[in-house]
Amino acid sequence: TDDMLRLTFDGSEAFAQPGPLRLKLNADTVPIYSDALAYRGEWSPDAGKFLFEPVDATEPHEGVRLSALFWLERPEQEDAADDTITLERLSGLDLFAVICASTMNSRVHTPQRLQRQLEFAKRVGDSLPVYRLTYPRRHDLLDKVVHTIESALP
């Protein structure tokens, strides 16, 4: 799915597992992807988002070994003329905060759940490099964003 990543571990390696195969798209991005997607309805009429599935959603998918994770962030000040893309490897408290913020369920806070959360955050941080990727959200920059990601991979 577009907003969830299921992770499993085999020893010290992390694997991304398939989740629900769906995308939530804003109306302005639907034409870009419409040939590869099957319309499944409105996600939220108030939000203007539509739910799609890949055309090949019935094909079996297997887990894929991960070599890094990327935290996507918007620039603090979005300037239409600014094409700056930055990539920063996280460590220490920044690393911990990003992993926990990405995986925490604020409604479940039992001591056992919090312990599992902290153990999971440590395991992710020990297994994978995690980067903060900051870029303007513009389609014309996506090739540069991909190149930036690829340059960080081993």
Q: What is the pLDDT of residue 56?
A: 67
Cα–Cα distance measured from residue 2 to residue 43, given in angstroms and rounded to the nearest whole number: 13
- H helix intervals, 3-141: 30-33, 92-103, 111-127
**pLDDT at residue 74 greater than cutoff 90:** no
Residue 145 lies in a domain: yes
Give just the sign of the alpha carbon dihedral 52, 58, 63, 64: negative
- Residue 143 is inside which H or E element, if any? helix 142-152
The reply to whether 18 falls in a domain is no
Q: Which two tokens stand for residue 50?
A: 């539509």
What residue numbers bound the domain in which 131 lies? 67-152
C-alpha distances (whole Å) from 136 to each of 77, 79, 84 are: 9, 8, 7
Query: Does residue 48 fall inside a structural domain?
Result: no
pLDDT band, very low/low/confident/very high, at 1 (cuts 50, 70, 90): very low
Residue 68 has pLDDT above 60, yes or no: yes
Does residue 148 form part of some domain? yes
Please report whether residue 144 resides in a domain: yes
What does the mean pLDDT of the chain come to? 84
If you average pLDDT over residues 127-142, what whole number do you get? 92
Q: How far apart are CA 105 and CA 80, in angstroms?
A: 35
Total number of domains in the chain: 1
Judge whether 58 lies within some domain: no
